[in-house]
Structure 1
């Protein structure tokens, strides 16, 4: 399937990324049509499983779709020459090495800018490109801890709890993709590229959002609130006759609507529940009264009734139930793609929908080096030159 007509189809990207944060960034560019060339190390007879898990595994396949793969030895002079030939021909380079590695290899932003002043160079690190922790290896759970997220996740008194997805990695990748798009837009005015930087730690702190602002403005250190929303009350998980549901009640108007829908006038007339501040102070007692009501009927009853009354409510799904839900299927969040060896597989769709130029999964993750010859031919290398490069281990 062609990328022609997609929003980023005019851009070319060199992908030096590994593991998750960097690949998440490049996946955004690839899904929206960029011509992505994934640069990987040539295979080694003694090498074990690479970073990012098995190539045919669900994670690698989901992260690296819509790309082309070439193998390139960046420690060899011939390999480095090919790299800079590519830099001259592309718009974007993305990497998530530890900050000192790219300089040691001689492929940092300044080196790329010297051969292509229009290059947009995206970098993701653990903690920043400089500063006291710059050379520490980055890892999602470490960033979750340092970024404060684990201190506000989980049940009160439970101790620190990680979020069930690598949220620092994912957000750093998304922010880097956003930064690259901003730099490409700015380049239309200035004619120059620039270095786009983010880190797992910075991304995690930005994602604290109102919890961070709560401390910065009011001096209040948020604590674990479990399944209860920290400020909108009553919002949380409530038992039903056959499981649990989420109910979200924010503000006085929805609270009164909720009390009427539940046929529970006492929740409106009790003075200890009369305002948001009082409901916050008496949260445990209020939640207990609501739970006594919700456990009398099944989840489906409450979800339908509350939503009809304008009170947000929803199920708490396992992952298989997520993808069985009719709304999720309508939103096309599981997207089929044909892999040359694995057959038809389903990957996670894009959350962004556009009316004229929707994102597409045009091709499955390529095999290692599947496009090396094609890319080299595009750079003007002939068959004999390519054979020599293979012989010397440059590709």
Structure 2
């Protein structure tokens, strides 16, 4: 890799995906230098038509499709289908998120393409995978949250379950799809042959809940909603101050002793009821009362400052706007500007991993519909 080269420079990804999970996976790859060719139906990806809108352009589409090239292909047309096949035979990676069986009917399935392109990595992203009783069911993020148990775990114990405030199933699916593609590319570097990557959003989200898995699979227990409190430790959650709320995380005896000293209750550290994480969780209401008594005369910022000074992990509750505009987010380069031909300079998220010798920023905006169609066809000699 040359100095300042992006890790995926020279990798061509043919992207048949739409909406979020698949496009999120390929956006991560585009951030790292892959040439991602986004194949769109004549009407375009559905996300082009979903707000919020800025100057007639979907902000969601801009975020999930940054850095890609767009070509419109009507896969019902034999001529366009032939273009798609030619592109697949030149690609390193194909990613699709049609229902199982659709790509086979088009002759764009892994078995067909890998006969002529044996090094091709072929990734299928779907709600429930290529097999199993739900394989052909459609799935959106909320459906997978509901079926995975995540929604049942989220919310106050006496209240209704609630969905998480982000499309976590789609994002988890995209992340694991990108991870699987990277593993397959690494394996290809040793064997010369590509693999088929089968990623289900259901599988990905279920795998993102290891603490719940430990209780079900190992202990045969039934995890339940605990609201703003950790299920296994205390004090570990969100508590009120006189003004505002703050989060605190105490996960061992040393931190607990420091915490007790800060809140003016050093005797709690030696209380038999507080001898372990498990017993502290059992007696969490006692701790909640002590915290309320201490923090009731403080602002959330003052409570956090006192806890942080003693080395106890704590934070005020930030809004999403606060988080994106924080000094920490700026220092880590989590978003960078791109030039959009219609919107001008806009800021878009960037994949979060830092690689030595690889710059951040200097990316393209999401493409206009068929913006690169003529260019891509010319590369095929058409």
Q: State the TM bucket, normalised to the shorter chain.
A: over 0.9
Which residue number in structure 1 is paired with residue 67 of structure 2?
Answer: 66
Which residue number in structure 1 is paired with residue 341 of structure 2?
Answer: 340
- Distance in 2 (CA, whole Å) between partners of 1:113 and 1:249 is 52
- Report 1:298-313 matches (<5 A): 298-313=299-314
The CA deviation string for residues 62-82 of structure 1, in whole angstroms up to 9 with x for no partner, is 010111111111111111111
What's the Cα RMSD here? 2.0
Which residue number in structure 2 is paired with residue 192 of structure 1?
Answer: 193
Q: Aligned in 2, Cα 1:244/1:356: closer, same or farther, shift over 3 Å?
A: same
Paired residues of 1:19 and 1:52 also in contact (CA < 8 A): no
**Higher deviation after alignment, 371-380 or 319-328:** 319-328
- Pairing 1:42–2:42 present: yes
**Higher deviation after alignment, 199-208 or 271-280:** 271-280
- Distance in 1 (CA, whole Å) between partners of 2:380 and 2:4 is 21
Paired residues of 1:121 and 1:196 also in contact (CA < 8 A): yes
- Pairing 1:20–2:20 present: yes
- Distance in 1 (CA, whole Å) between partners of 2:323 and 2:98 is 34
- Pairing 1:209–2:189 present: no
Kindly state the Cα deviation for residue 359 of structure 1 after the two structures are TM-superposed: 4.3
- Report 1:160-239 matches (<5 A): 160-239=161-240
Kindly state the Cα deviation for residue 380 of structure 1 after the two structures are TM-superposed: 0.6
Which residue number in structure 2 is paired with residue 385 of structure 1?
Answer: none
**Higher deviation after alignment, 10-19 or 301-310:** 301-310
Paired residues of 2:264 and 2:294 also in contact (CA < 8 A): no
- Pairing 1:142–2:139 present: no
**Higher deviation after alignment, 11-20 or 359-368:** 359-368
Paired residues of 2:47 and 2:58 also in contact (CA < 8 A): no
- Distance in 2 (CA, whole Å) between partners of 1:367 and 1:273 is 60
- Distance in 1 (CA, whole Å) between partners of 2:149 and 2:257 is 34
- Distance in 2 (CA, whole Å) between partners of 1:132 and 1:277 is 38
TM-score computed with the length of structure 1 as normaliser: 0.91
Kindly state the Cα deviation for residue 109 of structure 1 after the two structures are TM-superposed: 1.1
Kindly state the Cα deviation for residue 263 of structure 1 after the two structures are TM-superposed: 2.3
Kindly state the Cα deviation for residue 170 of structure 1 after the two structures are TM-superposed: 0.5
Which residue number in structure 2 is paired with residue 255 of structure 1?
Answer: 256
SS of equivalent residue, structure 1 residue 94: strand
- Distance in 1 (CA, whole Å) between partners of 2:336 and 2:260 is 41
Which residue number in structure 1 is paired with residue 103 of structure 2?
Answer: 102
The CA deviation string for residues 337-389 of structure 1, in whole angstroms up to 9 with x for no partner, is 110101111112322122321443510011100111111111111xxxxxxxx
Q: How many correspondences in the alignment?
A: 377
Q: Aligned in 2, Cα 1:43/1:146: closer, same or farther, shift over 3 Å?
A: closer
Structure 1, gaps ≥5 residues long: 382-395
Paired residues of 2:333 and 2:350 also in contact (CA < 8 A): yes
Paired residues of 1:66 and 1:361 also in contact (CA < 8 A): no
**Higher deviation after alignment, 110-119 or 217-226:** 110-119
Q: Aligned in 2, Cα 1:4/1:16: closer, same or farther, shift over 3 Å?
A: farther
- Distance in 2 (CA, whole Å) between partners of 1:350 and 1:180 is 16
The CA deviation string for residues 114-172 of structure 1, in whole angstroms up to 9 with x for no partner, is 22111101111111101211110011111111111111111112122111111111011
- Distance in 2 (CA, whole Å) between partners of 1:88 and 1:96 is 19
- Distance in 1 (CA, whole Å) between partners of 2:62 and 2:48 is 14
Kindly state the Cα deviation for residue 328 of structure 1 after the two structures are TM-superposed: 2.1
- Distance in 2 (CA, whole Å) between partners of 1:317 and 1:49 is 28
- Distance in 2 (CA, whole Å) between partners of 1:4 and 1:249 is 41
- Pairing 1:92–2:93 present: yes
Paired residues of 1:259 and 1:268 also in contact (CA < 8 A): yes
SS of equivalent residue, structure 1 residue 346: strand
Kindly state the Cα deviation for residue 51 of structure 1 after the two structures are TM-superposed: 6.4
Q: Which runs of 4+ in 1 moved over 6 A?
A: none
**Higher deviation after alignment, 48-57 or 104-113:** 48-57
Q: Aligned in 2, Cα 1:275/1:42: closer, same or farther, shift over 3 Å?
A: closer
- Distance in 1 (CA, whole Å) between partners of 2:74 and 2:274 is 67
The CA deviation string for residues 173-217 of structure 1, in whole angstroms up to 9 with x for no partner, is 110101001101101111111110111110011011121121101
SS of equivalent residue, structure 2 residue 208: helix
- Report 1:151-166 matches (<5 A): 151-166=152-167
Structure 2, gaps ≥5 residues long: none
Paired residues of 2:336 and 2:348 also in contact (CA < 8 A): yes
SS of equivalent residue, structure 2 residue 22: helix
Q: Aligned in 2, Cα 1:272/1:287: closer, same or farther, shift over 3 Å?
A: same
Which residue number in structure 2 is paired with residue 33 of structure 1?
Answer: 33
- Report 1:269-288 matches (<5 A): 269-288=270-289
